[in-house]
Amino acid sequence: MLLGLKLFKNNKVYFCVSVCSCLQTKKRYAKEWAEAEKASQQAEKTENDLYATKFDVDKAKQHSHARTRTAEECRNDYAAELQKYNKDQNSHYYSEIPQFFNKLQDMDERRIRSLADGYCKFSDIEKRVLPIISKCLEGISAAGAKVNDKQDSILLIEQHKSGFEPPAEVEFEDYSQGIKTATSESSLSQPKVRNLRWPFNKKSKAPPAEDFSHLPPEQRKKKLQGKIDDITKDLQKAQDQSEALEKMKGVYEQNPQMGDPSSLEPQITETAQNMGRLRGELAKYEVIAHTCTRRSNLYSFWVFFFKNFSYLLGVTDESSHNIYTEFEEFDDIETPIGQCTALYSFEGNSEGTISITEGELLSIMEEDKGDGWMRVLRANGDEGYIPSSYVKLAS
Give residue-wise pLDDT tens across range 279-302.
888 888 887 777 666 555 544 544
pLDDT at position 292: 66
Band of the pLDDT at 117, cuts 50, 70, 90? very high
CA distance linking residue 41 with residue 57, whole number of Å: 12
Give every CB contact of residue 311 below 8 A, 6+ residues apart in sequence.
Answer: 320, 323
Report, as an integer, the average pLDDT of 95-108.
91
pLDDT at 316: 40
Residue 303 pLDDT:
47
* Phi, psi of 379, deg, nearest 5: -65, -25
Name the percent of the chain lying above pLDDT 90. Answer: 20
Torsion 201-203-208-211 (CA) sign: negative
Which CATH fold topology does 2-143 show? Answer: Substrate Binding Domain Of Dnak; Chain:A; Domain 2 (1.20.1270)
Task: Kindly indicate the confidence band of residue 309, based on its pLDDT and cuts at 50, 70 and 90.
Answer: very low
* Residue-level pLDDT at 370: 80
Report pLDDT digits (tens) over 205-227: 445 567 777 666 667 778 888 88
Average pLDDT over every residue of 108-115: 96
Domain at 334-395, CATH homologous superfamily: SH3 Domains (2.30.30.40)
Distance between CA atoms of residues 43 and 35, nearest Å:
12
Model pLDDT for residues 29-45, shown as the tens digit of each residue: 788 888 888 888 877 88
Using the CB atoms, write b or e for 17-47: b if 16+ within 10 Å: ebeeebeebbebbeebbebbeebbeebeebe
Nearest alpha carbon to residue 246 among 264, 273, 270, 266:
264
Most confident of the ranges 160-174, 315-329, 362-376:
362-376
CA distance 72 to 48: 26
Categorize the per-residue pLDDT at 12 as very low, low, confident or very high, splitting at 50, 70 and 90.
Answer: low
User: Rounded to 10 degrees, what is the CA torsion of 14, 20, 26, 28?
Assistant: -120
Round the average pLDDT of the chain to a whole number and report it: 77
Query: H or E element: which one contains 373?
Result: strand 373-377
pLDDT value of residue 83: 87
Angle between helical axes of 217-254 and 265-307 (0-180°, round to 10): 160
CA–CA gap between residue 213 and residue 223 (Å, rounded): 10
More reliable by pLDDT, 85 or 177 = 85
Q: Where are the domains of the chain?
A: 2-143, 334-395
